Amino acid sequence: MDFSLTKEQEMLKKLAAQFAEEELEPVAAEIDAEHRFPTENFAKMAKVGFTGIGVPEEFGGSGGGMLEKVIAVSEFAKKCMSSAATLSIHLIAPHAILDFGTKEQKEKYLPRLTKGGELGAFALTEPNAGSDAAGVKTVAVYDEATDEYILNGTKCFITGGARAGVLVIFAMTEPKLGTRGMSAFIVEKGMPGFSSGKIEDKMGLAGSETAELVFEDCRVPAANMLGKKNKGFKIAMMALDAARVGVGAQANGVAEAAIEMSVKYMGERVQFGKPIGVLQGLQWYIAEMATKTEAAKALVYEASYLADAGKPFSKEAAMCKLNAAENARFVTNLALQIHGGYGYMKDYPLERMYRDAKLTEIYEGTSEIHKVVIARAVMK
């Protein structure tokens, strides 16, 4: 399988790397320290066209597909994981609307989420529904008199939820049916009865805001149902597959950056009269880090290839996310060890990268749930 990039993809990679270096890197530490949402970064991404990756130009997008998303997100993650995660999760909403929305929904919402610069969000997780999506308790009851659905419930750990202008929300329209009674809705910020609650204080990805969402008799027009009634679980699972590839891209980006920093440091740091790069033990660290990262990149590219070809990729999405996330923690840990005391200090980016990398093993499905997904796919 040939994963060589086309000329256009190479240009995108170069553009994304330049953007990350010039726009993201200078403010990455500040965003993390202040737990500040990267508003300016996202606005600049929208201006350049990154927020419309995977969406056709007729809806304000930049075209391309999953591989283009992976390329941009990976380059961004090398310099600022919070900004990379913000873009990666944002893209779930327009892609879900593109895949399952009506003509009217696409025309109304996609331009806002692409060239319009509005943030998108995807809200499935609840206090009792993390890995177990069947545990969703948010309900949507149809009001025939107004042709609206009334939503009640609470979502948690929603990336960008408090700032998003357009959100894809999942609720039970027939709770007795379990996942077969789940539907998806497009909800706009400002709709009566919809509000945001607690903003989480996280260990890492401090600039990628994680919020609680509250629905108290929130009225959503029936025309805002995404896809068919009671078919929301399929939408959620397909969106999660795409999200997992995005997390894999984030993990690979931060791993590549950690390797680059380590190689540079090993050439500059002198101990006992010689650069520490001559030490075989540290060379072996680099060999392991580089080999595992190349393997992780290959899995992410394979999942992207299948997605763009319109083929099933649930197993591959789980594999690439599991492998890339565990590798990101492994690589940033060794990189921090190579840097010694300097790596542990907040004056240097590695301690932030180490904290950020850990979350890739948790969000959009923990490593443990991915092993279940993979095992079931292999053993069926």
Among 68, 148, 209, 364, the active-site one is 364
How far is residue 161's CA from residue 87's CA, in Å, rounded to a whole number?
13
What is the residue whose two structure tokens read 């960008």? 160
How far is residue 226's CA from residue 207's CA, in Å, rounded to a whole number?
29
Angle at 226 between CA 190 and CA 360, to 5 degrees: 80
DSSP states of 275-286 as a string?
A: EGGG-HHHHHHH
Alpha-carbon distances of 8 from 63, 67, 101, 170, 275, rounded to whole Å: 11, 12, 28, 36, 40
26 CB-near residues (< 8 Å, 6+ apart): none
Chain centroid to Cα 165, Å, comes to 17
Tokens representing 235? Answer: 């939408």
Helices (H), 193-340: 232-268, 280-308, 314-339
Please indicate whether residue 126 is annotated as part of the active site: no
What is the residue whose two structure tokens read 């989420």? 113
Active site residues: 364
